[in-house]
Amino acid sequence: MCLGIPGRILRIAGDTAFVDFWGTQKQVRLDSLDETVAPGDYLISHSGCAVRRIPTNEILDTLALYETILAEAGEDPLARDMVCELEGELVRHALV
């Protein structure tokens, strides 16, 4: 199962956003996104690609939901997928 991860856009360079995911910064491709985004916006990212912009009125609820999932990451397969994706990105960036 796959799960996108919410993050806050720090800056944008062309079709790439530099996004903060709970203190981990990753590059996210914006070329498949149909919406316009700007620094400060939140988006859902999956495998390094933006899936959608999170509407302003949904940001707090969305982040709270994901924080709950991460806090209970024990044997929850959704939480495990999120943790693995974040850790995988850290390993890939360290190898580059």
| pLDDT value of position 3 | 72
pLDDT in tens, 36-81: 999 999 999 998 999 999 999 999 999 888 878 777 766 555 566 6
CB 83 within 8 A of CB 70: yes
Domains defined for the chain, CATH in brackets? 5-95 (2.30.30.140)
Q: Where are the alpha helices (DSSP H) in the chain?
A: 59-71, 77-95
Band of pLDDT at residue 22, cut at 50, 70 and 90: confident
More confident residue, 80 or 25: 25
